[in-house]
Amino acid sequence: MTGTFVGMPAFPALPAVPAVPAFPAFPDAAREAVGDRVLRANLKHATHTIRDKRARAVAELADWDRLRAAGKAVKDHTLRHLDRYLIRLEESVTAAGGTVHWAADADEANRIVTGLVLATGEREVVKVKSMATQEIGLNEALEAAGIAAYETDLAELIVQLGHDRPSHILVPAIHRNRAEIRDLFAAEMGRWGRPAPEGLGDDPRELAEAARLHLREKFLRARVGISGANFMVAETGTMVVFESEGNGRMCLTLPETLISVVGVEKVVPTFRDLEIFLQTLPRSSTAERMNPYTTMWTGLGPSGGADGDGPSAFHLVLLDNGRTDTLADEVGRQALRCIRCSACLNVCPVYERAGGHAYGSVYPGPIGAILSPQLRGTGSEIDASLPYASTLCGACYEVCPVAIDIPEVLVHLRERVAQGGPVTREGIRVRIRPARGHTAERAAMRAARLLMDHPGALRAGERLLARARRLRPGRLPGPGRAWTDSRALPALPAEPFRDWWARERGGRG
């Protein structure tokens, strides 16, 4: 995709943004995180609480499986015809008074947004919680251009005040407890605006009130708001934002200029399609029957901001940044169905112990393990390790409200990492080399394939192993040592299954 700027001058080049430091491979990062007892306690309490509430909320709907299938069908249909629905979306937004921009990658999106903010003459913006803007590093790009960006979601505010990174899709500050947040507010709020009240305690109501007072002055002063969107309706050009606090509503209605940065996969064909996700997303994310704040707007709205009701300028930045390359992968593309509910994180035994920072991406947990290596490629150490950040237990697939088969994609990406092969990069089909460190894995897979292709050899090997079962070592040697360092080697049966079957059933089906 190329940038198209309707009625706008060319945007200026941005100052250089400091490169994001390379993250360690997942096993190294997870090893450090698992040793943090406070982090593990915070994660366990939060994830168990959320997933238990979600299970009760989902159980209330007798047709949950049908809603899940419907959500999957809508997303799959849209992805198959994405080009058509994006053009329809652009037409609808433009007809409603908005301006649409296309961004092929993070640099282009940052350049567009920064140019739009500078054109207003403002040097600060308020932001609705947005994973897309985190993905592209928008806050850093704005800062490099002399623009201050203030996060207004409570959890995102905590992360920003702590000069931290989000660790959860729904609850970015899940790794912090109340005492840590109180200390953070007391130490940092005054540097960003209104300081925390004297004698602030760690009661959640006190903390929320301190954040409300701190943010209120930002809302009333800001002239530019930046958001993402949970859904975009091609039929009407409507943007949809789900949130729980009301901060997003303030950002979306008070500023004079609103800029929304949204991944191209967030489009749905018709307004009626929202009916499905209005039921499944709240229950899967916050375990609520209905989202507390669901904000919808179409272009500039009926008044076009003329009477002071809503922004007087709306810009939609449609972000690709690896999404159409992911769409080219018939197995991996199902990751684009994700509606960012975070249900998969809350049931994942790996995430519960390692936390979100170990994934080295704005998208943590099981969905991050399949989405980040596709959006960014598997060339880095962290992205090559993410497909292995799973036990393949399948719990993530069971709770996904759009039925993304995450274990299937994980295995698919493991094959890509270990074997290399053809992938699409920037719209071009290329062949990548295997990642380093997988020689033994490739050799084992070749040996397994050879054995499976020769049933007689497989049968003989099974019988040999059964007769030598008393010689089974407690740990595997060589490359297998790491596997048995944390797992018990399974006991070998007294006889192969096929011999048992022939004896008991006479070979009958």
Residue 10, phi then psi, degrees to nearest 5: -60, 135
* Average pLDDT over the chain, rounded to an integer: 90
Contact (Cβ atoms closer than 8 angstroms) between residue 11 and residue 5? yes
pLDDT value of position 301: 59
3-state secondary structure of 503: helix
pLDDT value of position 444: 79
What element of type H or E holds 210?
A: helix 204-221
Q: What percent of the chain has pLDDT over 70?
A: 94
pLDDT (mean) for 193-203: 93
**347-393: pLDDT as tens digits:** 999 999 999 999 999 999 999 999 999 999 999 999 999 999 999 99
**147-184: pLDDT as tens digits:** 999 999 999 999 999 999 999 998 899 889 899 999 99
Q: What does the alpha-carbon distance between residue 366 and residue 351 come to, in Å, rounded to a whole number? A: 8
**368-381: pLDDT as tens digits:** 999 999 999 999 99
What element of type H or E holds 321?
A: none
3-state secondary structure of 346: helix
**Cα–Cα distance list, 184 to 40, 173, 217 (Å):** 20, 12, 19
pLDDT value of position 443: 80
Give all strands (DSSP E) within 200-342, no chain letters. 224-227, 231-233, 238-243, 257-263, 267-268, 293-298, 313-319
Q: What does the alpha-carbon distance between residue 442 and residue 448 come to, in Å, rounded to a whole number? A: 10
Contact (Cβ atoms closer than 8 angstroms) between residue 183 and residue 165? no
pLDDT value of position 1: 38
pLDDT (mean) for 133-140: 97
Over 70: is that where the pLDDT of 5 sits? no
pLDDT (mean) for 75-80: 98
Q: The tokens 């949130």 sit on which residue?
A: 243
Contact (Cβ atoms closer than 8 angstroms) between residue 356 and residue 175? yes
Over 90: is that where the pLDDT of 395 sits? yes
Over 50: is that where the pLDDT of 37 sits? yes
Predicted confidence band of residue 20 (pLDDT cuts 50, 70, 90): very low
Token output for 70? 């419907």
